[in-house]
Amino acid sequence: MAFDLVLQNVLNPPILFFIAGMLSVFFRTGLEIPQPLPKLFSLYLLIAIGIHGGYELSKSGITSDVITVLGLSIFLATLVPIYSFFILRLKLDIHNAVAIAATYGSISAVTFVTAGAFLESLGIKFGGYMVAAMTLMESPAIIIGLIMLNLFANTKNNGEKTDWKEILREAVFNPSVYLLMVSLFIGYITAEKGWKAMEPLFWTLFKGMLAFFLLDMGIIAAKRIGDVKKVGMFLVGFSIFMPVFNAMLAIILGSIFGLQKGDIFMLSVLAASASYIAVPAAMRLSVPEANPSLYITMALAITFPFNITFGLPLYYFVINLIWG
Protein backbone atom coordinates (compact mmCIF):
# COMPACT_ATOMS: atom_id res chain seq x y z
CA MET A 1 0.00 0.00 0.00
CA ALA A 2 1.36 3.40 -0.98
CA PHE A 3 2.73 5.21 2.08
CA ASP A 4 1.61 8.60 0.75
CA LEU A 5 -2.03 7.40 0.84
CA VAL A 6 -1.71 6.48 4.53
CA LEU A 7 0.07 9.76 5.21
CA GLN A 8 -2.62 11.74 3.41
CA ASN A 9 -5.28 10.11 5.56
CA VAL A 10 -3.41 10.58 8.84
CA LEU A 11 -2.68 14.22 8.02
CA ASN A 12 -6.39 14.90 7.57
CA PRO A 13 -7.25 17.42 10.37
CA PRO A 14 -10.09 15.38 11.97
CA ILE A 15 -7.82 12.30 12.13
CA LEU A 16 -5.06 14.39 13.70
CA PHE A 17 -7.52 15.54 16.36
CA PHE A 18 -8.39 11.89 17.06
CA ILE A 19 -4.69 11.14 17.53
CA ALA A 20 -4.32 14.27 19.67
CA GLY A 21 -7.14 13.02 21.91
CA MET A 22 -5.39 9.67 22.40
CA LEU A 23 -2.05 11.34 23.13
CA SER A 24 -3.69 13.61 25.71
CA VAL A 25 -4.56 10.52 27.75
CA PHE A 26 -1.11 8.98 27.37
CA PHE A 27 0.50 12.27 28.46
CA ARG A 28 -2.03 12.66 31.30
CA THR A 29 -3.01 16.19 30.31
CA GLY A 30 -6.44 15.89 31.88
CA LEU A 31 -8.11 17.09 28.66
CA GLU A 32 -11.86 16.41 28.63
CA ILE A 33 -14.80 17.43 26.45
CA PRO A 34 -17.43 18.59 28.96
CA GLN A 35 -20.79 16.83 28.95
CA PRO A 36 -23.25 16.98 27.25
CA LEU A 37 -21.23 18.34 24.29
CA PRO A 38 -20.16 14.90 22.98
CA LYS A 39 -23.84 13.92 22.68
CA LEU A 40 -24.52 17.18 20.84
CA PHE A 41 -21.68 16.40 18.40
CA SER A 42 -23.17 12.94 17.80
CA LEU A 43 -26.62 14.36 17.09
CA TYR A 44 -25.13 17.00 14.79
CA LEU A 45 -23.21 14.43 12.73
CA LEU A 46 -26.23 12.14 12.40
CA ILE A 47 -28.47 15.00 11.23
CA ALA A 48 -25.80 16.35 8.88
CA ILE A 49 -25.11 13.06 7.08
CA GLY A 50 -28.81 12.20 7.01
CA ILE A 51 -30.05 15.48 5.55
CA HIS A 52 -27.20 15.67 3.03
CA GLY A 53 -27.79 12.08 2.00
CA GLY A 54 -31.49 12.77 1.53
CA TYR A 55 -30.68 15.80 -0.62
CA GLU A 56 -28.31 13.75 -2.79
CA LEU A 57 -30.91 10.99 -3.05
CA SER A 58 -33.49 13.53 -4.21
CA LYS A 59 -31.12 14.49 -7.04
CA SER A 60 -30.35 10.95 -8.18
CA GLY A 61 -33.80 9.44 -7.63
CA ILE A 62 -34.53 5.76 -6.97
CA THR A 63 -32.49 4.11 -9.72
CA SER A 64 -31.32 0.55 -10.32
CA ASP A 65 -27.96 1.52 -8.79
CA VAL A 66 -29.71 2.65 -5.62
CA ILE A 67 -31.68 -0.58 -5.39
CA THR A 68 -28.51 -2.62 -5.97
CA VAL A 69 -26.60 -0.78 -3.25
CA LEU A 70 -29.42 -1.13 -0.73
CA GLY A 71 -29.79 -4.82 -1.55
CA LEU A 72 -26.07 -5.46 -1.09
CA SER A 73 -26.13 -3.52 2.17
CA ILE A 74 -28.91 -5.65 3.65
CA PHE A 75 -27.20 -8.82 2.39
CA LEU A 76 -23.89 -7.91 4.08
CA ALA A 77 -25.60 -6.81 7.30
CA THR A 78 -27.30 -10.22 7.42
CA LEU A 79 -24.35 -12.38 6.35
CA VAL A 80 -21.51 -10.86 8.41
CA PRO A 81 -22.96 -11.62 11.86
CA ILE A 82 -23.72 -15.20 10.83
CA TYR A 83 -20.21 -16.25 9.85
CA SER A 84 -18.71 -14.05 12.59
CA PHE A 85 -20.73 -15.99 15.15
CA PHE A 86 -19.36 -19.37 14.03
CA ILE A 87 -15.78 -18.06 14.02
CA LEU A 88 -16.18 -16.63 17.51
CA ARG A 89 -17.70 -19.87 18.79
CA LEU A 90 -14.28 -21.49 18.29
CA LYS A 91 -13.15 -19.70 21.46
CA LEU A 92 -16.16 -18.11 23.14
CA ASP A 93 -19.44 -19.08 24.77
CA ILE A 94 -22.69 -18.49 22.91
CA HIS A 95 -23.64 -15.23 24.63
CA ASN A 96 -20.37 -13.43 24.02
CA ALA A 97 -20.17 -14.80 20.48
CA VAL A 98 -23.65 -13.41 19.75
CA ALA A 99 -22.86 -9.98 21.18
CA ILE A 100 -19.56 -9.60 19.34
CA ALA A 101 -20.96 -10.97 16.07
CA ALA A 102 -23.83 -8.46 16.23
CA THR A 103 -21.38 -5.66 17.00
CA TYR A 104 -19.31 -6.45 13.90
CA GLY A 105 -22.36 -7.07 11.74
CA SER A 106 -23.58 -3.54 12.38
CA ILE A 107 -21.88 -0.25 11.48
CA SER A 108 -20.17 2.83 12.87
CA ALA A 109 -21.65 6.11 11.63
CA VAL A 110 -18.52 8.02 12.67
CA THR A 111 -16.31 5.71 10.58
CA PHE A 112 -18.69 6.35 7.67
CA VAL A 113 -18.42 10.12 8.16
CA THR A 114 -14.62 9.94 8.38
CA ALA A 115 -14.54 7.86 5.19
CA GLY A 116 -16.62 10.51 3.44
CA ALA A 117 -14.10 13.16 4.47
CA PHE A 118 -11.31 10.91 3.17
CA LEU A 119 -12.98 10.61 -0.25
CA GLU A 120 -13.61 14.35 -0.34
CA SER A 121 -9.89 14.99 0.19
CA LEU A 122 -9.25 12.80 -2.86
CA GLY A 123 -11.92 14.54 -4.93
CA ILE A 124 -14.04 11.40 -5.31
CA LYS A 125 -17.83 11.46 -4.95
CA PHE A 126 -20.21 8.82 -3.66
CA GLY A 127 -23.98 8.56 -3.88
CA GLY A 128 -26.15 10.14 -1.22
CA TYR A 129 -28.10 6.89 -1.09
CA MET A 130 -25.14 5.42 0.82
CA VAL A 131 -26.62 7.14 3.87
CA ALA A 132 -29.77 5.07 3.36
CA ALA A 133 -27.53 2.00 3.05
CA MET A 134 -25.86 2.88 6.33
CA THR A 135 -29.24 3.24 8.03
CA LEU A 136 -30.39 -0.14 6.74
CA MET A 137 -27.19 -1.84 7.91
CA GLU A 138 -27.45 -0.76 11.53
CA SER A 139 -30.30 -2.96 12.73
CA PRO A 140 -30.27 -6.41 11.01
CA ALA A 141 -27.25 -7.63 12.98
CA ILE A 142 -29.15 -7.22 16.26
CA ILE A 143 -31.99 -9.38 14.99
CA ILE A 144 -29.65 -11.97 13.43
CA GLY A 145 -27.64 -12.18 16.64
CA LEU A 146 -30.72 -12.90 18.72
CA ILE A 147 -31.93 -15.49 16.23
CA MET A 148 -28.56 -17.23 16.59
CA LEU A 149 -28.90 -17.05 20.36
CA ASN A 150 -32.33 -18.66 20.30
CA LEU A 151 -31.19 -21.34 17.86
CA PHE A 152 -28.05 -22.41 19.70
CA ALA A 153 -28.71 -21.63 23.36
CA ASN A 154 -30.89 -24.21 25.07
CA THR A 155 -32.26 -21.75 27.62
CA LYS A 156 -31.43 -18.22 28.68
CA ASN A 157 -29.73 -18.01 32.07
CA ASN A 158 -32.55 -16.00 33.58
CA GLY A 159 -35.20 -18.36 32.24
CA GLU A 160 -37.13 -15.60 30.52
CA LYS A 161 -38.48 -15.74 26.98
CA THR A 162 -37.13 -13.33 24.39
CA ASP A 163 -39.31 -10.25 24.02
CA TRP A 164 -39.20 -10.01 20.23
CA LYS A 165 -41.48 -6.99 20.13
CA GLU A 166 -39.08 -5.02 22.33
CA ILE A 167 -36.05 -6.29 20.42
CA LEU A 168 -37.51 -5.24 17.07
CA ARG A 169 -38.46 -1.86 18.48
CA GLU A 170 -34.93 -1.37 19.84
CA ALA A 171 -33.36 -2.47 16.55
CA VAL A 172 -35.48 -0.30 14.25
CA PHE A 173 -36.19 2.70 16.47
CA ASN A 174 -33.04 3.15 18.51
CA PRO A 175 -32.11 6.87 18.63
CA SER A 176 -29.34 6.82 16.01
CA VAL A 177 -31.37 4.87 13.44
CA TYR A 178 -34.44 7.01 14.06
CA LEU A 179 -32.54 10.30 13.69
CA LEU A 180 -30.81 9.11 10.52
CA MET A 181 -34.10 7.98 8.98
CA VAL A 182 -35.88 11.23 9.85
CA SER A 183 -33.00 13.40 8.61
CA LEU A 184 -32.76 11.40 5.39
CA PHE A 185 -36.49 11.82 4.82
CA ILE A 186 -36.36 15.57 5.52
CA GLY A 187 -33.43 16.00 3.16
CA TYR A 188 -35.25 14.01 0.48
CA ILE A 189 -38.59 15.82 0.57
CA THR A 190 -37.14 19.34 0.95
CA ALA A 191 -34.55 18.66 -1.79
CA GLU A 192 -32.39 21.55 -2.99
CA LYS A 193 -34.44 24.30 -1.34
CA GLY A 194 -34.14 22.65 2.07
CA TRP A 195 -30.45 21.87 1.62
CA LYS A 196 -29.61 25.45 0.69
CA ALA A 197 -31.28 26.63 3.89
CA MET A 198 -29.41 24.09 6.05
CA GLU A 199 -26.07 24.07 4.25
CA PRO A 200 -24.34 26.81 6.32
CA LEU A 201 -24.86 24.79 9.52
CA PHE A 202 -24.67 21.21 8.32
CA TRP A 203 -21.97 21.46 5.66
CA THR A 204 -19.82 24.54 6.21
CA LEU A 205 -19.23 23.62 9.87
CA PHE A 206 -19.18 19.86 9.30
CA LYS A 207 -15.44 19.18 9.47
CA GLY A 208 -15.04 21.39 12.51
CA MET A 209 -17.71 19.46 14.41
CA LEU A 210 -16.19 16.18 13.21
CA ALA A 211 -12.83 17.30 14.62
CA PHE A 212 -14.42 17.98 18.01
CA PHE A 213 -16.15 14.61 17.97
CA LEU A 214 -13.03 12.68 16.98
CA LEU A 215 -11.02 14.50 19.65
CA ASP A 216 -13.47 13.15 22.22
CA MET A 217 -13.43 9.69 20.60
CA GLY A 218 -9.64 9.67 20.81
CA ILE A 219 -9.82 10.36 24.54
CA ILE A 220 -12.39 7.59 25.07
CA ALA A 221 -10.49 5.08 22.91
CA ALA A 222 -7.20 5.73 24.72
CA LYS A 223 -8.86 5.23 28.10
CA ARG A 224 -10.01 1.79 26.94
CA ILE A 225 -6.61 0.72 25.62
CA GLY A 226 -5.87 -0.82 29.00
CA ASP A 227 -8.87 -3.11 28.58
CA VAL A 228 -7.35 -4.70 25.47
CA LYS A 229 -5.52 -7.24 27.62
CA LYS A 230 -8.93 -8.49 28.78
CA VAL A 231 -10.04 -9.52 25.29
CA GLY A 232 -7.10 -11.83 24.55
CA MET A 233 -5.01 -12.25 21.39
CA PHE A 234 -7.72 -14.18 19.55
CA LEU A 235 -10.16 -11.28 19.88
CA VAL A 236 -7.48 -8.69 19.14
CA GLY A 237 -6.77 -10.53 15.89
CA PHE A 238 -10.51 -10.76 15.18
CA SER A 239 -10.86 -7.00 15.77
CA ILE A 240 -8.34 -6.27 13.01
CA PHE A 241 -8.59 -9.09 10.48
CA MET A 242 -12.39 -9.50 10.44
CA PRO A 243 -12.99 -5.87 9.38
CA VAL A 244 -10.45 -6.30 6.58
CA PHE A 245 -12.11 -9.53 5.45
CA ASN A 246 -15.56 -7.91 5.53
CA ALA A 247 -14.27 -4.96 3.52
CA MET A 248 -12.72 -7.24 0.90
CA LEU A 249 -16.01 -9.13 0.58
CA ALA A 250 -17.87 -5.86 0.05
CA ILE A 251 -15.31 -4.73 -2.55
CA ILE A 252 -15.69 -7.99 -4.47
CA LEU A 253 -19.49 -7.80 -4.40
CA GLY A 254 -19.48 -4.12 -5.35
CA SER A 255 -17.19 -4.85 -8.31
CA ILE A 256 -19.31 -7.78 -9.47
CA PHE A 257 -22.45 -5.63 -9.44
CA GLY A 258 -20.73 -2.70 -11.14
CA LEU A 259 -21.00 -0.08 -8.41
CA GLN A 260 -19.22 3.24 -8.76
CA LYS A 261 -15.79 3.57 -7.19
CA GLY A 262 -16.89 5.88 -4.38
CA ASP A 263 -19.89 3.69 -3.56
CA ILE A 264 -17.74 0.55 -3.39
CA PHE A 265 -15.40 2.29 -0.99
CA MET A 266 -18.19 3.48 1.30
CA LEU A 267 -19.83 0.03 1.23
CA SER A 268 -16.51 -1.57 2.17
CA VAL A 269 -16.10 0.87 5.06
CA LEU A 270 -19.60 0.11 6.32
CA ALA A 271 -18.91 -3.63 6.13
CA ALA A 272 -15.59 -3.17 7.95
CA SER A 273 -16.88 -1.01 10.78
CA ALA A 274 -18.29 -2.15 14.11
CA SER A 275 -20.98 -0.56 16.24
CA TYR A 276 -20.00 0.82 19.65
CA ILE A 277 -23.26 2.66 20.39
CA ALA A 278 -26.47 1.13 19.02
CA VAL A 279 -25.63 -2.58 19.19
CA PRO A 280 -23.95 -2.50 22.64
CA ALA A 281 -27.04 -0.76 24.00
CA ALA A 282 -29.26 -3.46 22.51
CA MET A 283 -26.98 -6.29 23.70
CA ARG A 284 -27.02 -5.01 27.27
CA LEU A 285 -30.80 -5.19 27.13
CA SER A 286 -31.24 -8.51 25.33
CA VAL A 287 -28.05 -10.49 26.12
CA PRO A 288 -27.07 -9.41 29.64
CA GLU A 289 -24.94 -12.56 30.02
CA ALA A 290 -22.41 -11.20 27.50
CA ASN A 291 -19.45 -9.21 28.80
CA PRO A 292 -19.63 -5.56 27.58
CA SER A 293 -15.89 -5.04 28.19
CA LEU A 294 -15.24 -7.49 25.36
CA TYR A 295 -17.40 -6.18 22.53
CA ILE A 296 -17.19 -2.49 23.42
CA THR A 297 -13.40 -2.58 23.83
CA MET A 298 -12.95 -4.47 20.57
CA ALA A 299 -15.11 -2.07 18.57
CA LEU A 300 -13.99 1.19 20.14
CA ALA A 301 -10.38 0.69 21.22
CA ILE A 302 -9.15 -1.56 18.38
CA THR A 303 -11.36 -1.65 15.27
CA PHE A 304 -12.35 2.02 15.20
CA PRO A 305 -8.78 3.44 15.46
CA PHE A 306 -7.52 0.83 12.97
CA ASN A 307 -10.20 1.65 10.42
CA ILE A 308 -9.88 5.43 10.46
CA THR A 309 -6.07 5.43 10.35
CA PHE A 310 -4.97 2.40 8.31
CA GLY A 311 -8.18 0.75 7.12
CA LEU A 312 -9.47 3.58 4.93
CA PRO A 313 -6.30 3.88 2.81
CA LEU A 314 -6.01 0.07 2.67
CA TYR A 315 -9.54 -0.40 1.31
CA TYR A 316 -9.06 2.44 -1.17
CA PHE A 317 -5.75 0.94 -2.31
CA VAL A 318 -7.37 -2.45 -2.98
CA ILE A 319 -10.21 -0.79 -4.90
CA ASN A 320 -7.67 1.03 -7.03
CA LEU A 321 -5.98 -2.27 -7.82
CA ILE A 322 -9.29 -3.59 -9.14
CA TRP A 323 -10.25 -0.43 -10.99
CA GLY A 324 -6.77 0.22 -12.38
Whether the predicted pLDDT of 213 surpasses 70: yes
Query: Which of the given ranges, 44-53, 129-138, 259-268, has the highest pLDDT on average?
Result: 259-268
**What's CA 147's distance to the chain center, in Å?**
22
Residue 2 has pLDDT above 60, yes or no: no
Domain assignment of residue 48, yes or no: yes
Gap between the Cα atoms of 71 and 313, Å rounded: 25
Q: How far is CA 177 from CA 181, 189, 198, in A?
A: 6, 18, 21
Q: Could you tell me which of 235, 253, 269, 223 has the C-alpha nearest to residue 322?
A: 253
Domain at 127, CATH number? 1.20.1530
Average pLDDT of the chain is: 87
Residue 165 included in any domain = yes
pLDDT above 90: percentage of residues in the chain = 47
Question: Can you tell me the distance from the alpha carbon of 319 to that of 248, in angstroms, rounded to the nearest whole number?
Answer: 9
The per-residue pLDDT for range 220-232, each reduced to its tens digit, is 888 888 777 777 8
In a domain, 18, yes or no: no
**Which of 198-207, 224-233, 242-251 is the least confident region?**
224-233
Asked, for residue 12, whether it belongs to a domain, the answer is no
CA angle 256, 257, 260 (to 5 degrees): 105
21 found inside a domain: no
What is d(CA 42, CA 314) in angstroms, rounded to the nearest whole number? 26
Q: pLDDT of 104-139, one tens digit each?
A: 999 998 899 899 989 988 899 998 889 889 888 888
pTM flag (> 0.85): no
**How distant, in Å, are the alpha carbons of 20, 34, 214 from that of 28?**
12, 17, 18
Is residue 13 included in any domain, yes or no?
no
Q: Phi/psi class of residue 223: alpha, beta or left (left: φ > 0; alpha: ψ in -120 to 50)?
A: alpha
Per-residue model confidence (pLDDT) at position 156: 47
Report yes or no on 226 lying in a domain.
Answer: yes
CA–chain centroid gap for 74, Å, is 14
Find how far residue 199's CA is from the centre of its chain: 24
Give the span between the Cα atoms of 26 and 21, in whole angstroms.
9
CA–CA dist 143, 271 (Å, integer): 17
What is the count of structural domains for the chain?
Answer: 1
Q: Provide the domain limits for residue 174.
A: 36-323
Arithmetic mean of pLDDT, 168-177:
69
In a domain, 254, yes or no: yes
Q: How far is residue 108's CA from residue 43's CA, in Å, rounded to a whole number?
A: 14
